[in-house]
Structure 1
Amino acid sequence: MKAYPRDTDTVAEGRPDRGDDHALVRASLAGDARAFERLYRAHVGRVHGAILRLVGMDRARAEELTQEAFIQAWRKLSSFRFDAAFSTWLYRLGVNTALMELRGRRDEVNADNAALELAAGGEVPFCAGERDDLERAVSKLPPRARAVLVLHDVEGWKHEEIAAELGMAVGSSKAQLHRARALLRTTLEAA
């Protein structure tokens, strides 16, 4: 299994700035595979980290989806507009790859919003704890609840963005977040 650098490792190694990224994208579009490799090395840690959290710490699946995201990036590189940061475009493409995986899953029973709200017990504060314990607890969450939790509490998305991306109502996104937090709390308190 390939080891991906953490975001902090990539930054410490000197992640290219926006201008460098744009130059590398232009070179890649001209057929320079080494330029795309440099983009890959500079951004794989952040993309892989987001995907890993979204797929519940399933490292094998995260590796597959990370590779798929970079294959899509190569194929769609000509659609990149130079008015934004390449890292933002690439990160969003990676997150969308993982979310497509979630959308394809139909194994989770859908509960109505009231039942989810009741199960969550209303507002439940986000639990902090040992990083490994927390990651294990998050990985055990149902896929949609995990996706909402990661996108909202970790990645900083708004419920409106999550709802649009996952094809659910804003209220469902909020209910899934409450559900995920309650399940996390229960799991971490039992540990």
Structure 2
Amino acid sequence: MRDLTLSDIERLRTGSSADAVPLEMDEEAFRGFYDRTARALRAYLARVTGDGALADDLLQESYYRLLRARGGYENEAHRRNALFHIATNLIHDSRRRARHMTPSGADPLTLPSMRNDAVATERAIELRHAMGRLKPRERELLWLAYAQGSSHQEIAASLGLRAGSIKLLLFRARRRLATLLNGSGLRTDERSER
């Protein structure tokens, strides 16, 4: 451990550090941004990961990284897209870590919420099962488009894709979901009634 210098002591006294990154927002602006975005981000994280505790951890880490990033965001929409992009990257990171830690006999597509949701209706269970069988990218696309109501440009920015490819990717994801639902006994005309 190195000795403290006078400048180190002064930085400690003032609460700053040599590697501190200036924040883009003050506390009040952050609270407002958090209030406007936290619920949507938490829902996205919970749906894509299928684990509420992991979603909470990723939510906290997403905001932390957004605050520490030197983004120079033009407006709140850009900041929101950056937040979802950070969250998506964190989801991918957690999956990579989990892949190395998953026991060989475990089914990585089984969502904890599927096992614990005894009061869910049959349709909701089938939909959840079908969503769980989708590829992670398909789940993310469908969730951002239909649950969050994001535009194609916002989805592209959040997932790091080209905006022109989102329409085709959404079409393929919807078609695959419909195929999975039809195979499980939930017909597409029943889905349109909801």
Using the size of structure 2 for normalisation, the TM-score is 0.49
Specify the structure having the higher radius of gyration (Cα): 2
Structure with higher RCO (Cα < 8 A, 6+ apart): 1
Using the size of structure 1 for normalisation, the TM-score is 0.50
